[in-house]
């Protein structure tokens, strides 16, 4: 049975707000200027699906704490939550509960090797019926499968589609290709081995489930409805008893007009005391600012007084050497020139008059501010007196109220104690019910988990039967991928296209009779790489294959978009080619809308791209668009 994946929503959990990108079926286009976060959308998806780490994004690190990815796998819907910048911490998986209309905790997975049964990779591979598959003496990973669904910007033209430069990685990539299309030689044996392991796991879960059921039956609480019924009855009983207790406590012989008036007066006193405390704090702050101003006036007076005193001191001497650095000073014969700075001497009396006038003006302001500070100090004293008086009055009123309570002997004390006992007893029963609820929730979780395991077993049995009956026709498959590959290159307006095919041994693409990386143009390699990934995607959705039905392409315009009349070496860099690529993306998204997701990230798009295909657009110059993924980051 074909099981596919569909992305629903990516959310970065932020401190100020959350940042969301929602996805749809078919073509999803994300556009934006450089450094606006469009590529980070794909990288956050990759991180939520088990990538070891992500880049050290400054804006994301300052604004966000975790990433959430909502996705559908087959008929199930999940939410994956993983902390940012915490690469080794487990991630939480929640499952959508259609009855409750919300996500509920499902499991917690380690971001670890698939050999760890609690790893995210093991969880996902089991969902896609690929658990426990081994290739070249190594456990198959979901990350191996995902490589055919994510064409990174750094890989679109790196001339290493099958990791040919590394023998081990090349063998694993080829084996992954065969696993996707059921060509892997050991597939049947792997499935039979997996079936045995899953049957044992299923039996252990059944035993555990039965143990929990037996316990709950013994506890006379075996289903959620019974818990809800008892919990509601207890809650109603507790509220009733609390109401009776409150009524008894109110009837203490002090519920007179005088006592009620006294209680209201105490409340008013506390409110007034709070207002006075605020006034006192404001007055303190105001006085501090006034004293700062007074200190500034003192400083100004001191500076001018020093200037005045220094004028008389220094004017008595003719300096031959600088009093600071002791170097000789050039002598001036003219008496009207200062021997130190060389400036013209002014009339000393007029200059001193100016300084004295400034000193008087500042002293007058200082006297005024001192008087004002004194008056404001008195205000603060008055507020403090009011505060003390209010506190004294409040204390007296509270003591008077306590005196009323102390002098009254409540004849219903036994009834109060009995009601308290009854309330405590029912709250204990309520706590015990809550503990049993946790057992019921665990029971429901294990039942759902067991049901999923049962579905996995049935799917494995079906696949084993199908593989036992039918031998995969490799030649027909490669011919089909070749046909798609050639048609895609034609739609891309690939220059001088001829003799294009996918090799049935290496699974590598060839164009003009040459291996793709012998073309001699990185732009040509980019076109071939995109066409190859698209061909694998389109063939992968046609049968019960293991392709995820998703392809994410980062920056398809890389190496493209040069002038139409470029040189021979630039024959692949044509704006028309880029337009042709987007037209094909649009066509594929529309034609196969219910069967795949094509997510494309690029800087800009042609005018003919349908508006509903643009799921996110960032622009630093347009007010009606977010500046970036983290659109309010500083």
Mean pLDDT in residue range 519-546: 92
H/E element holding 134? strand 134-135
Query: Which percentage of the chain shows pLDDT scores above 90?
Result: 31
- Model pTM? 0.62
Q: Which of 134-143, 186-195, 337-346, 357-366 has the lowest mean pLDDT?
A: 186-195
Domain parsing of the chain, residue ranges = 5-183+472-618, 184-247+439-470, 257-406
Total residues belonging to the chain: 634
Residues 454 and 449: their CA atoms lie apart, in Å, by 9
* Domain over 5-183+472-618 is classified CATH 3.40.50.720: no
Residue 538's pLDDT is 96
Residues 628 and 14: their CA atoms lie apart, in Å, by 14
Give me 34's structure tokens.
């450089």
**Exposed e or buried b per residue across 56-73, where buried means at least 16 C-beta atoms within 10 angstroms of its C-beta:** ebebbeebbebbbbbbeb
pLDDT tens, residue by residue, 442-490:
666 666 766 776 666 666 566 556 555 556 688 999 999 999 999 999 9
Q: Is the pLDDT of residue 568 over 60?
A: no
Residue 569's pLDDT is 44
Most confident region among 196-205, 373-382, 611-620 by mean pLDDT: 611-620
Identify the bridge partners of residue 338 per DSSP, sorted by sequence position: none
Q: Is the pLDDT of residue 566 over 50?
A: no
Give the 3-state secondary structure of residue 50.
coil
Q: Is the pLDDT of residue 399 over 70?
A: yes
Residue 572's pLDDT is 60
Average pLDDT value for the chain: 81
Residue of 70, 107, 90 whose CA lies nearest to 453: 107
Q: Give 492's pLDDT tier (boundaries 50, 70, 90).
A: very high
Cβ neighbors of 345 (< 8 A, separation 6 or more) are: 335, 336, 337, 338
pLDDT tens, residue by residue, 303-330:
888 777 766 666 656 667 776 677 787 7
Residue matched to tokens 């009606």: 624
Give the 3-state secondary structure of residue 76.
strand
3-state SS, 557-597, equals CCCCCCCCCCCHHHCCCCHHHHHHHHHHHHHHHHHCCCCCE
Q: Are 141 and 112 in contact (CB under 8 A)?
A: no
Q: Is the pLDDT of residue 195 over 90?
A: no
Mean pLDDT in residue range 258-276: 84
Mean pLDDT in residue range 494-501: 92
Q: Is the pLDDT of residue 220 over 60?
A: no
Q: Are 412 and 248 in contact (CB under 8 A)?
A: yes
């Amino acid at each position: 049975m074909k099981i596919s994946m569909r992305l629903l929503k990516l959310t970065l959990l932020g401190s100020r707000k959350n940042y969301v990108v929602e996805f749809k079926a078919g073509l999803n286009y994300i556009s934006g200027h450089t450094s606006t976060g469009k590529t980070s959308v794909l990288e956050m998806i990759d991180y939520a699906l088990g990538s070891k780490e992500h880049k050290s994004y400054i804006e994301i690190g300052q604004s966000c704490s975790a990433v959430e990815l909502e996705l559908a796998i087959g008929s199930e819907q999940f939410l994956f939550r993983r902390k940012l910048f915490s690469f080794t911490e487990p991630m939480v998986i929640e499952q959508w509960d259609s009855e409750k209309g919300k996500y509920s905790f499902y499991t917690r997975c380690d971001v670890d090797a698939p050999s760890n049964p609690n790893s995210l990779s093991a969880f996902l591979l089991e969902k896609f019926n690929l658990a426990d598959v081994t290739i070249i003496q190594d456990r198959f990973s979901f990350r191996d499968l995902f490589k055919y669904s994510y064409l990174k910007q750094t890989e679109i033209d790196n001339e290493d589609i099958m990791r040919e430069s590394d023998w081990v990685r090349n063998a694993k990539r080829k084996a992954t290709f065969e696993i996707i299309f059921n060509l892997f030689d050991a597939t049947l044996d792997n499935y039979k081995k997996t079936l045995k392991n899953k049957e044992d796991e299923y039996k252990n879960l059944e035993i555990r489930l039965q143990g929990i059921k037996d316990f709950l039956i013994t506890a006379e609480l075996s289903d959620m409805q019974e818990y809800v019924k008892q919990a509601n009855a207890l809650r109603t009983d507790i509220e009733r008893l609390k109401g009776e207790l409150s009524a008894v406590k109110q009837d203490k012989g002090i519920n007179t007009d005088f006592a009620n008036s006294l209680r209201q007066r105490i409340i008013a006193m506390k409110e007034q005391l709070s207002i006075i405390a605020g006034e006192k704090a404001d007055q303190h702050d105001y006085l501090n600012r006034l004293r700062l101003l007074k200190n500034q006036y003192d400083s100004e007076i001191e500076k001018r007084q020093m200037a005045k005193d220094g004028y008389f001191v220094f004017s008595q001497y003719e300096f031959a050497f600088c009093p600071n650095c002791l170097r000789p000073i050039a002598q001036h014969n003219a008496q009207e020139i200062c021997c130190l700075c060389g400036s013209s001497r002014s009339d000393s009396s007029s200059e001193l008059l100016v300084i004295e006038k400034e000193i008087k003006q500042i002293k007058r302001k200082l006297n005024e501010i001192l008087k004002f500070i004194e008056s404001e100090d008195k205000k603060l004293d008055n507020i403090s007196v009011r505060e003390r008086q209010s506190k004294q009055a409040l204390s007296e009123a509270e003591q008077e109220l306590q005196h009323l309570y102390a002098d009254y002997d409540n004849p219903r004390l036994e009834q109060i104690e009995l009601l308290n006992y009854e309330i405590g007893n029912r709250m204990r029963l309520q706590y015990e019910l809550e503990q049993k609820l946790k057992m019921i929730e665990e029971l429901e979780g294990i039942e759902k988990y067991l049901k999923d395991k049962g579905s996995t077993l049935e799917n494995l049995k079906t696949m084993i039967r199908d593989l036992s009956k039918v031998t995969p026709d490799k030649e027909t498959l490669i011919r089909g991928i070749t046909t798609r590959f050639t048609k895609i290159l034609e739609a891309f307006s690939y220059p001088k296209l001829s003799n294009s095919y996918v090799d049935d041994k290496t699974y590598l693409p060839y164009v003009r009779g040459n291996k793709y990386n012998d073309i001699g143009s990185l732009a040509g390699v980019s076109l071939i790489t995109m066409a190859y990934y698209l061909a694998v995607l389109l063939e992968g959705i046609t049968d019960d294959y293991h392709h995820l039905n998703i392809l994410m392409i980062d920056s398809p315009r890389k190496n493209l978009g040069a002038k139409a009349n470029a040189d021979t070496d630039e024959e692949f860099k044509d704006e028309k080619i880029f337009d042709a690529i987007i037209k094909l993306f649009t066509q594929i998204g529309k034609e196969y809308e219910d069967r795949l997701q094509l997510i494309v990230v690029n800087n800009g798009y042609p005018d003919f791209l349908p508006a509903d295909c643009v799921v996110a657009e960032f622009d630093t110059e347009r007010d009606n668009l977010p500046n970036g993924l983290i659109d309010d980051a500083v």
